[in-house]
Amino acid sequence: MAGAGRAGPVRPRRAGGGTAAAPLASARRGQPVRPGEPAWTPLEALPLADERPELRPALDEGASQFDGPLPPLPAAPGEPLLRSVFPVGLGGRRRGVLELVAERPLDAEARRFVAGVLQIYRNQLSVLDYGERDTLTGLLNRKTFDEAFGKCLLEIGPIASAPVDPGERRSPFADRASWLGVIDIDHFKRINDGHGHLMGDEVLLLVAGLLRAAFRHGDQLYRFGGEEFVVLLHADARERAALAFERFREALEAHPFPQVGQVTASAGFTRVRAFDTANAAFDRADRAVYQAKQSGRNRVCCHDALNRAGVLEDGERSGEIELF
């Protein structure tokens, strides 16, 4: 676009008591597109949206577009002078902005061009969401799980563990562990039977919202069907992964559900191993859920810890008792 010096999408992310501005990508004139922060970048490492006042109208007010001068910033020679911000609806509660930095205000033709590109982008997202997201909760669905699990294996498998040439660029997660967790709402059948399926759906929606709030912006959240949810996350140690699941469990236990009252969930998780399969990892986490329910529900169990303690083994789960 004539006069445009830099462009890139930005998404808001919850960060403690504020909102972080997460750049997804950045393109400068005459240079290739540079991806933004990795999915698991600590939110505290990102600038707060409150420090970017020119983003607020597009993020909060939903205006069709907003132009404003750049705040005082150190500028390199030839740095453009004006920033234009366009809101980008990403479906449901997902929002973002397209930020264009240019030498002069965008004229009407340029605005129409940007609006047309954004509409194409929204249409593509809608098609992707239809196939990749659960229609009720908006979380990822089971169809997308195998591909995401394969990416986890690439980070911990033979490629990541093989000797690395000093000049070779490594994955930022090559030395970090991936964890798979299964979360199952306790006594969900009683909720459906006692309050109806519409109230059951409302509970699932609220649980999905609590999942989003409890886990980090890069942790991948899935609904596998019914009352079963799956989480893929990165953590340096088992204790850190356990804290994430405990944070959700405590938030769920403390949340008042209209008409239903208290709702709890049992969770089980396991470390993703090199040469793992999605089914094997899921089965280990699911057996940890089984143990959590058998030992009283409303708790988090780690399969790896249970295995070392001799409570569970890597073999098939025995017994046909249903504890739902």
Q: Which residues are part of the catalytic machinery?
A: 227
Write out the H or E segment, with its range, that includes residue 285. helix 278-294
DSSP codes joined into one string, 36-75: -S-TT--GGGSPBGGG-GGGHIIIII--S-EEEEPPS---
65: left (phi over 0), alpha (psi -120 to 50) or beta: beta
Structure tokens at 226: 């019914």
Q: Which of 1, 9, 39 is nearest to 122 (CA)?
A: 9
Sheet order of strands, 228-235 included: 220-225, 228-235, 177-185, 265-271, 300-302
Give the tokens for residue 195. Answer: 């309050």
∠ CA 182-187-193, nearest 5°, is 130
- Alpha-carbon span 35 to 131, nearest angstrom: 24
